[in-house]
């Protein structure tokens, strides 16, 4: 994603080029980009000038959305749901839930504020 951000408005990038430049397995990139494409975070063009590109400015793509697509539901603590509610039946009276929820909310908020353009 950072490679696509660095190439914003300069054309498409093939996965083969990204694979070679970043020394990442092409098969691995294909799996990653399949999910990114399904989510709409990237688009693909077929043909001799084909490849992947960002359909939106890197300033408009947040890191939280990228991580969520790549990793699934983001759950920092096993006892909390992603929305900050408790998922742990044992900890109904646990005093740590409030503090852990605050930490989780702060991390999510930071990831949502961070844009792809911040890491390109």
pLDDT of 7-57, one tens digit each? Answer: 999 999 999 999 999 999 999 999 999 999 999 999 999 988 889 999 999
74-83 pLDDT tens trace: 778 877 777 7
Residue 91: is its pLDDT beyond 60?
A: no
**Residue found by looking up tokens 């959305």 in the block:** 65
* Burial class of residue 68 (count of CB atoms within 10 Å of its CB; 0-12, 13-18, 19+): middle
| Domain ranges (residues) in the chain | 1-55, 60-120
Query: Helices 96-113 and 63-71 meet at what angle, rounded to 10?
Result: 110
| Length of the chain measured in residues | 120
pLDDT of amino acid 67: 95
Give the fold, CATH level 3, of 1-55: Arc Repressor Mutant, subunit A (1.10.10)
């Amino acid at each position: 994603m950072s490679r696509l951000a660095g190439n914003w408005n300069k054309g498409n990038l093939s996965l083969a080029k990204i694979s070679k430049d970043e020394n990442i397995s092409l098969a691995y990139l294909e799996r990653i980009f399949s999910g990114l494409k399904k989510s709409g975070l990237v688009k693909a063009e077929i043909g001799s000038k084909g490849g992947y590109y960002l359909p939106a400015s890197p300033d408009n793509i947040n890191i939280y959305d990228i991580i969520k697509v790549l990793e699934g539901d983001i759950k920092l603590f096993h006892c909390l749901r992603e929305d900050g509610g408790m998922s742990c039946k044992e900890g109904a009276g646990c005093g740590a839930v409030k503090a852990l929820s605050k930490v989780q909310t702060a991390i999510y908020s930071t990831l949502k504020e961070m844009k792809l353009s911040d890491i390109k």
